[in-house]
Structure 1
Amino acid sequence: MAESKKRVSVLIVGAGPTGLVLALWLQKRGIDFRIIDKSTGPGETSRALAIQARTLEFYQQLGFANDLVNASVKANEIVLRRRGRAVATAKFGELGKDLSFFSYLSFCSQDIHEALLCTVLEKWGRQVQRNSELLSFSQNENEVIVQVKTSQGTEQITADYLIGCDGAHSAVRHGLKTKFPGGTYSQVFFVADVMASGPMAEGGLQISVSPKGFCIVMPIRAHGSVRLTGIVPPEAESKEKVSYDDVAESVARDTGLEVQKVNWFSSYHVHHRVAGKFHDGRVFLAGDAGHIHSPAGGQGMNTGIGDAVNLAWKLADVIQGRCPPRLLDSYEPERISFAKTLVKTTDVAFQLIASRSYLGSMFRAYVLPSIFSLLTRFRTFLDLGFKTISQIRIEYRESFLSEGSVGEVHAGDRLPWVRTSSGHNFESLQSLDWQIHIYGKVKAAFQNSKYPLDMPVHQFEWSTAVQSTGLQKDAVYLIRPDGYIALATQTQDSRIITEYFQRMSN
C-alpha cells in the first residue's frame, strides 16, 4: 500500500535507477522519505544496459551487488571490427582484477535492474508511490511545499528537501525554471534487442565500423540475445515510424549477424544537455533531470546513480545533524563538473563514430581501427580505458571537501581498492559512514583518540599490493561515506581530523 504521510524529510520524484538508489541509501541510513512516480510500475523495456564497476561498488556498500551480478551478463573485453571482422581487442578482465572487485563490463537490461531495486526497497519495508505526478512546488528557507496529482485527487506534501530524479523532461527542473542548454544530433539513433547468431553475437562488447556506419553489439540475457545500437540510414530518417526493416540491411552489412527475432526496437534523436544548476535552495536535480548525452560508453544511467549516492549521504548527514547544511553545497560542483566533462567526451566520441562526411567515414572505417589496434598493445591505455569506462577514475579533487595528498593519492580520489589477507579494503565501506584508514602501523595515541561522529580507525597490513595502488605506508586517509577520500595526510595526529570537521562547519 502506498505511503500517505504528509510531512517528510525527503521527497524523491522519479523511480528510475537514480531515484531508487537514492531511496535505498536513505532507507539504509534511517532517513524519512517518500518516493513517487507517475508510472504504474517499473519499466518493461530493456533501455540502459551497461552496469559499470563503480555502480557495482556502490551496490556492494548497500549489500545487494551479487544479486545484480547474478542477473547480468559479464564481458571481459571490447572487440573492434571492420565490417564484422575483428581488428583489435581490449581485454579488461585480467587488468581490472587489481583495480576493482568488479573487474569486467556488466550488462543487465534496465527492466530487470529496476525490478531488482524495487524488490530490495520493498524487502527493506518501503515502496514507490505509483500513479503520482508532481504538479508544482514552492519553497522557503525551511521547507518545500509540493502539489502531487494521485489517482485519488490532489495531495499536498511538505518536505525538508525535494529531489528531482524524473528524467529528461523533469517537472522538478521545469519548476526551478533552470536552463537546460545543449543540442540535438541530426542523426537518428536506433536500438534493437534481437536474437541473433554469428561471431558478433558471442563474447564481449563488440563494435563494428564501415564507411557507411557502425553497429555496437552488447550481450543481454541468454546466449544469442544481443542489443544492437547504430544510426538509421539517411533514406529512412524522415519516416514517421522507423522499423527494424529500415536498418536490417545496414546491420547485416556491418555485423554479419543473422537476426532470427526482433524483441524490441526503438529509434530516437540523441540530445546532449546539462542543466544550468543541480541545486537551488532545498531542491536538487539528479540523473537525466540534470544531464543527458550520447549513450556512447554506457555512462548515462551509471552517472545518475553516482549523483544519487553523492547526494544521499550528504542529505543523511545533514538531516541527522551530523554535518552542517553547508555540506549540501558540495553536491552541485562535484557532480555538475563531471556531467559537463562527460557530455563533452561522449559528444566527441559520437561525432567521430557517427559522422557522414567523406573524411569522417574514412576515419571511422580505416584510421580508428588502426589507432585502436595500436593503443591496445599498451597496458597504460588499457588501464586508463578501464578506469574511465568503469567510472572508478571519477574524482573530486577540486571540491571544498577535499584536503591534502600523500604520494600519488589525493583527497577527492576514490579510495584505491586492494585485496587484503581477509578480503579487501572496501568491506568496511558497507557502514555507509565516515571512517579512517591506515595502511601500516597505527600509533597508540591516534588509535585511542576520540573522533567526530565516533568514526572508527581501520588498520590494514602494508603489502606490495597496497604499495602498487599509490597508498602510502602509515599515512592517514579520512574516507567519506561514498568511498572517496576527504583528507590525506602523512601525520597521525587526531587534531587534523577534528580540525577538518571544524572547517566544514565554518
Structure 2
Amino acid sequence: MHRSDVLIVGAGPTGLVLALWLVAQGVRPRIIDLNRQPATTSRALAVQARTLELYQQLDLTGHVLRHGHTVAAINLWVKGAPVAHLPLTRIGEGLTPYGFLQIFPQDEHERFLIERLRAEGISVERGVELRGFIDQGDQVQVQLLHPDGHLESAETLYLAGCDGARSTVRHGLGSGFPGGTYQQVFYVADVQGQGPTFNGELHVDLDEADFLAVFPLAGNGRARLIGTVRDERAARAESLRLEDISRRAIDHLKVQVDQLNWFSTYRVHHRVTEQFRVGRTFLLGDAAHVHSPAGGQGMNTGIGDAINLAWKLASVITGRADETLLDSYEPERIGFARQLVATTDRVFTFATAQGPVADLLRTRLAPLLIPRALALGAVREWLFRTVSQLTLNYRHSALSDGAAGHVHGGDRLPWVNAGGRDNFTALQTLEWQVHVYGKAGKDLQAVCATEGLRLHVFDWHPEHGEAGLARHALYLVRPDGYVALATGDHPAPALSDYLARSPRRPTP
C-alpha cells in the first residue's frame, strides 16, 4: 500500500506551491490531479508583491519577473476616452522590493511550478481521481481511481484539498460553502490586437456598458480581455462566443481584435467554507474560498494558504514541532478569506452596479476623486499595501505576541535594504530565526544558541526606524516571514518564555 506524508489533491498554483515548499523543508509529498493535462487557459493574472516576496525564498521570483509583464499604469475610461491615468511603477517604492503590479498568466505560472517540482524529483500524477477518504485518527485512508480504471487504496498522514471550487475534498468533509453567485457572467478572451489600449498598461471602462478591463500580457499586441455579460445573453453563457458580446465596452476602449487565441465564460461565486481543517484534512485556495476577480487576489491568497500550511506541516512531520502547531492554520487564514470576500464583493458591486446613481458615481465622481486621492502619499501607500497583501497579518493568532516599534507579533517582517544588507535574504533558509536591528546582548546570543535559532544582527540605520522597527529590539521570525514575537524589553527572557509555551520545539 502506497504511503505518503502529505497527499495533495489538485495541481493548480496552490497545490504546486504547497508541494514545492514541503520539498524545500524535507517532506516528499504526493500530488494528484483529475485533469489529464496542465491547463492551457487561465483567468488569474496578477502576481502580487507579497507573493513575489515569498517566491524569493525558493528563488522563483526572477523567472516571474523575466517572463511576465510589469504594468506601468491603470487607465480609467468613460464614454470612449481615458479620463484618469494612475501610474503604478513606483506605487510601492520603499515598502517592498516589488513595488509594482506583475502580470504572469496562470497557465504559464503552473507550467513553471511543475517544472520546478519535477526538478525536485516529483511529478504530478495526472488523471487520478480522489474517490473517497477516511480519517483514521493517526492517518487518512484514501481511494484513488487511476486512468486505467485501477482503484488504489493508499494512506497518507495528511490530506490537502487544493482541488478548486467544486472540491471533492470539501464535499467529503461535509463542510458548508456559504455565500452566493453573481448575476453577471464573466468572459475571458486572450487576444492579439491593436489600439490605444494595447500599450502595456491596464485599461478599465467605467461606463454603464458591460464591465470590461484590458490586461496587458508579455509580448507586442497581446492582451487579456475580462468583461461581464448581464442581459438575456447571460442565460446562454456556455454557448456564447466573442462575437456575441456587446460591442459597447469593446468599442469604448477602441479594442481591435486581430486574432482570438481562446475564449471562455464562467460565473463567479463569493463563498468561504465553514472549516479550513477537519482532523488531518485541510482545505486551501479555491476549495476554501472563492470571490470576484477584483484586485487580483484569488490565486495569491491560495498561494498564501499553501505557504502558511507548508511550514507547519513540515515542522510537525519532521519532528520539529508539536502537532498543535497545525491548530493555527484555520484561524490565521479563514479570517483573511472572509475579509477578502467582503472587500472584493464591494469593489465588484461598485464597478458593475446599474442605474443612474451608480452611473454618476462611476463615470463622473470616480475619475475625478480617484486620481486626487492617489496623489496623497498616505492613500497611495494604503492602497498598495492592501492590494499587494502586505497588510495581511496574524496579530490575533495564538502564535503571535508582543510589539516593538510599529511592528506587532503577527505582522509581516518589514523589508529594509540598508547598509548593503537586504533583511529578506535571511528568509531564504525557511527557518525560525531572530532579527535584531542594532545590538544583541550576550544573554540573547546564548538563548539563540541553546534553542537552535539563527541570530541575524543588522547594524542600525535610519531606514530601519522608517520601516517601523525598533532599535535593539528582538523579532522572532517564522519560516514564512511573519513575526511571531516582537519585544524591546528584556529580549532574552522574553524569547525563552515564548519558546517554552509555543508548539515549536528547539532544533536538535
Same fold at TM > 0.5: yes
2:206 aligned partner, one-letter code: V
1:47 aligned partner, one-letter code: R
Q: Does 1:392 align with 2:402?
A: no
Q: Does 1:177 align with 2:206?
A: no
What is the DSSP-based 3-state SS (H/G/I as helix, E as strand, rest coil) of the residue aligned with 1:135? strand
- Aligned match of 2:21: 25
Matches within 5 A, 1:306-317: 306-317=304-315
What is the DSSP-based 3-state SS (H/G/I as helix, E as strand, rest coil) of the residue aligned with 1:288? helix
Q: Distance in 1 between matches of 2:277 and 2:104?
A: 31
How far does the alpha carbon of each residue in 1:58-106 deviate from its partner, in whole angstroms, 9 at most, with x for none?
1110112101211100113322222342322333322312111112111
Q: Does 1:124 align with 2:120?
A: yes
- Aligned match of 1:50: 46
- Aligned match of 1:406: 404
- Aligned match of 2:78: 82
Q: Distance in 2 between matches of 1:54 and 1:373?
A: 25
- Aligned match of 1:196: 193
- Aligned match of 2:273: 275
- Aligned match of 1:445: 443
- Aligned match of 2:224: 227
Give the Å deviation of 1:492. Answer: 4.7
Bigger drift between 257-266 and 447-456 goes to 447-456
Change (3 A) 1:272 1:235: same
Q: Distance in 2 between matches of 1:270 and 1:314?
A: 31
Q: Distance in 1 between matches of 2:357 and 2:481?
A: 44
Give the Å deviation of 1:417. Answer: 0.6
Q: Distance in 2 between matches of 1:83 and 1:461?
A: 55
Q: Distance in 2 between matches of 1:54 and 1:85?
A: 33
Matches within 5 A, 1:63-462: 63-152=59-148, 153-239=150-236, 241-247=239-245, 249-451=247-449, 454-462=452-460
State whether residues 179 and 276 of structure 1, in contact with CA within 8 Å, keep that contact through their aligned partners in structure 2: yes
How far does the alpha carbon of each residue in 1:399-454 deviate from its partner, in whole angstroms, 9 at most, with x for none?
11110111211111100011133341100000001000011112233224345651
Give the Å deviation of 1:233. Answer: 4.9
State whether residues 77 and 93 of structure 1, in contact with CA within 8 Å, keep that contact through their aligned partners in structure 2: yes
State whether residues 91 and 100 of structure 2, in contact with CA within 8 Å, keep that contact through their aligned partners in structure 1: no
Q: Distance in 1 between matches of 2:430 and 2:443?
A: 26
Q: Distance in 1 between matches of 2:494 and 2:182?
A: 50
State whether residues 81 and 252 of structure 2, in contact with CA within 8 Å, keep that contact through their aligned partners in structure 1: no
Change (3 A) 1:106 1:299: same
What is the DSSP-based 3-state SS (H/G/I as helix, E as strand, rest coil) of the residue aligned with 1:95? coil
What is the DSSP-based 3-state SS (H/G/I as helix, E as strand, rest coil) of the residue aligned with 1:111? helix
State whether residues 405 and 469 of structure 2, in contact with CA within 8 Å, keep that contact through their aligned partners in structure 1: yes
Q: Distance in 2 between matches of 1:29 and 1:233?
A: 47
Give the Å deviation of 1:398. Answer: 0.7
State whether residues 10 and 33 of structure 2, in contact with CA within 8 Å, keep that contact through their aligned partners in structure 1: yes
Q: Distance in 2 between matches of 1:450 and 1:373?
A: 49
Q: Distance in 2 between matches of 1:84 and 1:195?
A: 21
- Aligned match of 2:478: 480
Q: 5+ unaligned residues in a row in structure 1: which ranges?
A: none
Q: Distance in 2 between matches of 1:85 and 1:451?
A: 63
What is the DSSP-based 3-state SS (H/G/I as helix, E as strand, rest coil) of the residue aligned with 1:237? helix
Bigger drift between 138-147 and 303-312 goes to 138-147
1:467 aligned partner, one-letter code: G
Q: Distance in 2 between matches of 1:211 and 1:367?
A: 14
Q: Distance in 2 between matches of 1:223 and 1:263?
A: 14
State whether residues 92 and 382 of structure 1, in contact with CA within 8 Å, keep that contact through their aligned partners in structure 2: no
Give the Å deviation of 1:235. Answer: 4.1
State whether residues 447 and 496 of structure 2, in contact with CA within 8 Å, keep that contact through their aligned partners in structure 1: no
Q: Distance in 2 between matches of 1:98 and 1:231?
A: 36
Bigger drift between 211-220 and 131-140 goes to 211-220
Give the Å deviation of 1:230. Answer: 1.5
Q: Distance in 2 between matches of 1:26 and 1:83?
A: 50
Change (3 A) 1:169 1:469: same
State whether residues 473 and 491 of structure 2, in contact with CA within 8 Å, keep that contact through their aligned partners in structure 1: no
What is the DSSP-based 3-state SS (H/G/I as helix, E as strand, rest coil) of the residue aligned with 1:395? coil
State whether residues 212 and 250 of structure 2, in contact with CA within 8 Å, keep that contact through their aligned partners in structure 1: no
Runs of 4+ in 1 over 6 A off after TM superposition: none
Q: Distance in 2 between matches of 1:322 and 1:150?
A: 35
Q: Distance in 2 between matches of 1:218 and 1:290?
A: 27
How far does the alpha carbon of each residue in 1:312-367 deviate from its partner, in whole angstroms, 9 at most, with x for none?
00001111121111111111011000000000000011111111233222222222
Alignment RMSD: 1.6
Q: Distance in 1 between matches of 2:352 and 2:266?
A: 14
Q: TM-score, normalised by structure 1?
A: 0.96
State whether residues 7 and 156 of structure 2, in contact with CA within 8 Å, keep that contact through their aligned partners in structure 1: yes
Give the Å deviation of 1:146. Answer: 0.5
State whether residues 419 and 461 of structure 2, in contact with CA within 8 Å, keep that contact through their aligned partners in structure 1: no
What is the DSSP-based 3-state SS (H/G/I as helix, E as strand, rest coil) of the residue aligned with 2:191? strand
Give the Å deviation of 1:200. Answer: 1.5
Bigger drift between 284-293 and 216-225 goes to 216-225
Q: 5+ unaligned residues in a row in structure 2: which ranges?
A: none
- Aligned match of 2:495: 497
Q: Distance in 2 between matches of 1:359 and 1:95?
A: 31
Give the Å deviation of 1:257. Answer: 1.8
2:288 aligned partner, one-letter code: G
State whether residues 190 and 231 of structure 1, in contact with CA within 8 Å, keep that contact through their aligned partners in structure 2: yes
2:445 aligned partner, one-letter code: Q
Give the Å deviation of 1:111. Answer: 1.2
What is the DSSP-based 3-state SS (H/G/I as helix, E as strand, rest coil) of the residue aligned with 2:395? coil
Q: Distance in 2 between matches of 1:194 and 1:314?
A: 42
Q: Distance in 1 between matches of 2:185 and 2:91?
A: 35
State whether residues 84 and 200 of structure 1, in contact with CA within 8 Å, keep that contact through their aligned partners in structure 2: no
